[in-house]
Amino acid sequence: MDALLTRLRAAVGPDAVLTDPDVTSAYRRDMMPLAPHGRPLAVVLPSDAGQVQEVVRACAAHRTPIVPRGAGSGLSGAANAVEGCVVLVTTRMNRIVEIDPDNRLAVVEPGVVNLDLRGAVEKHGLFYPPDPSSYDWCTIGGNLSTNAGGLCCVKYGVTTDSVLGLEVVLADGELLKTGRRTVKGVAGYDLTKLFVGSEGTLGVITRATLALRPLPQAPATLVATFSRTADAGVAVARVVREGVVPSLMEIMDRTSIRAVEQYLKTDLNADEALLICQSDAGGEAARRDLAVIEQVCRDSGADLTYTTDDLSEGRDLLAARRAVLNALEVYGAWLTDDVCVPRTRIADLIAGCERIGADLGLRIAVVGHAGDGNMHPTIVYDPTSEDEFARARRAFDEILAVGLALGGTVTGEHGIGKIKREWLAKEIGPVGLRVHREIKRALDPENLFNPGSMFS
């Protein structure tokens, strides 16, 4: 493998090829503790697309697998190293190449941090919607590869809805350009949306053209508390039915509420469930939206509702939702699941998680994006107890089974990666799996990119 390392050093410079295991171990895995990971042969940090092409050609020649990686904030192990691979890290390719306010688009390299892009476009009165929880450190390249979501999705969609075109290095080192700079375009297959969400299995994204939106108004915020989870579920379905589209609609279950109350030393006045909604429609329109949601919550049996158009108060209310994972760490390590169900089945999913937690003797807190049915049941476990870890793992799977049985999907935004491969097979069936293999073989016949991730 010395020949490969020599070639990699020639391609990206010796400083950009890491081989010391003490250093490379930091690039072995993402944030998902369940996913397997191997030891990389090397970690390379190219600076531009040309270097990525050289790295891909070198690895192809030496039949060495490549695992592309951004910041490593993922929650599916998609970016985890496989034994003896080259981890290709895109964080040095972090230029915002262009912001075009008149055509409302930006061109970026994959290593740009989500928050940096948000800030840069905001100066032009523009908005890049996708906002995964790790937005202050995750990269656009990782967001593209997982088709990341966030709190914005109920109104603004997921990452794929904001992508106009890509530049991708293919398995033979050629540079593919997909998509366009125009708002619309149907020339050929939609390769852009095929690469988005492909989790590094089809190529390395080296550039993206992203659609931007006008910066929304400062949001008004509503909180509603419920003494029955089912009532909160009914409220969500009825908000959808009423035709109101909030810019954020999050739910917390009893376990999340108690943990946050302990952690923040506060009283959320919520017994079983709490809904937080925002509208960024501005002024009168936002007030009208939240008034409809408030009425729906009351009609559905809410104990308390509270509305404010004060921005900092709204931020404080949302802080409870954002504090859940930190609050849970008081009790142990956490393992967050990701399942998306039809919006009418949210209460059923929460009930299922309560049952699983009781059966397995585990604390499972459910928080999630109620507006789109994407729930994150989070399992707390003692990392020093093998038995408890095994039960946590079982709970993780049982939650997915409940989600599928409710007509849902096994991942709403985190991806399949190296942790839900058998669940992908269950969800899409043998014909779906065959088509995945055919597309993978067509674009990556030697199985160079992220082998064994997503499916095998």
Q: Within 13 A of 245's CA, how many CA atoms are on the CB side?
A: 7
**Which of 158, 220, 252, 347 lies at the binding interface for a copy of itself (CB under 8 A)?**
158
Over the window 354 to 393, marking each residue x when it contacts a copy of itself by CB under 8 A and - when it does not, the resulting string is ---------------x--xxx-------------------
Q: Which of 243, 238, 246, 242 is nearest to 222 (CA)?
A: 246
> CB of residue 262 vs a copy of itself: minimum separation in angstroms?
30
Residue number, 28 or 155, with CB nearest to a copy of itself: 155
> CB of residue 316 vs a copy of itself: minimum separation in angstroms?
27
Assign residue 84 a region: left if phi > 0, alpha if psi is -120 to 50, beta otherwise? left
**Which of 48, 116, 190, 303 lies at the binding interface for a copy of itself (CB under 8 A)?**
190
Residue number, 237 or 257, with CB nearest to a copy of itself: 237
Binding of a copy of itself by 136 (CB under 8 A): no
Assign residue 243 a region: left if phi > 0, alpha if psi is -120 to 50, beta otherwise? left
> CB of residue 283 vs a copy of itself: minimum separation in angstroms?
8
Q: Label residue 19 exposed, middle or buried (CB < 10 Å: 0-12, 13-18, 19+).
A: middle
Residue number, 304 or 428, with CB nearest to a copy of itself: 428
Binding of a copy of itself by 239 (CB under 8 A): no
**Which of 385, 435, 446, 456 lies at the binding interface for a copy of itself (CB under 8 A)?**
435
Distance between the two ends of the chain, CA-based, in angstroms?
25
**Which of 35, 259, 270, 281 lies at the binding interface for a copy of itself (CB under 8 A)?**
281
With contact defined as beta carbons under 8 Å apart, do 220 and 287 qualify?
Answer: yes
> CB of residue 24 vs a copy of itself: minimum separation in angstroms?
28
Over the window 391 to 430, marking each residue x when it contacts a copy of itself by CB under 8 A and - when it does not, the resulting string is ----------------xxxxxxxxxx---x--xx--xxx-
**Which of 74, 132, 197, 200 lies at the binding interface for a copy of itself (CB under 8 A)?**
197
Token readout for 42 is 């090397």
Determine the residue type at 374.
Answer: N
> CB of residue 70 vs a copy of itself: minimum separation in angstroms?
16
352: helix, coil or strand? Answer: helix
Binding of a copy of itself by 149 (CB under 8 A): yes
**Which of 146, 255, 279, 300 lies at the binding interface for a copy of itself (CB under 8 A)?**
146
> 78 to 117, contacts with a copy of itself by CB under 8 A?
100-104
> 199 to 238, contacts with a copy of itself by CB under 8 A?
213-215, 237
Euclidean distance between CA atoms 119 and 110, whole angstroms: 16
Determine the residue type at 309.
Answer: D
Of 221-229, 247-255, 312-320, 339-347, which part binds a copy of itself (CB under 8 A)?
Answer: 339-347
Euclidean distance between CA atoms 430 and 451, whole angstroms: 19
Residue number, 401 or 428, with CB nearest to a copy of itself: 428
Give the torsion sign (CA, 127, 133, 139, 143): negative
Binding of a copy of itself by 123 (CB under 8 A): no
**Which of 207, 343, 376, 418 lies at the binding interface for a copy of itself (CB under 8 A)?**
343
Binding of a copy of itself by 432 (CB under 8 A): yes
Residue recorded with tokens 């093998």: 386
With contact defined as beta carbons under 8 Å apart, do 346 and 331 qualify?
Answer: no
Q: Within 13 A of 434's CA, how many CA atoms are on the CB side?
A: 3
> 1 to 40, contacts with a copy of itself by CB under 8 A?
none
> 307 to 326, contacts with a copy of itself by CB under 8 A?
none
Token readout for 191 is 């390769």
Angstrom CA distances, 81 to 68, 278, 358, 420, stand at: 9, 39, 35, 16
User: Element (H or E) spanning 359, and its range?
Assistant: helix 346-360
Binding of a copy of itself by 196 (CB under 8 A): yes
Residue recorded with tokens 């107890």: 385
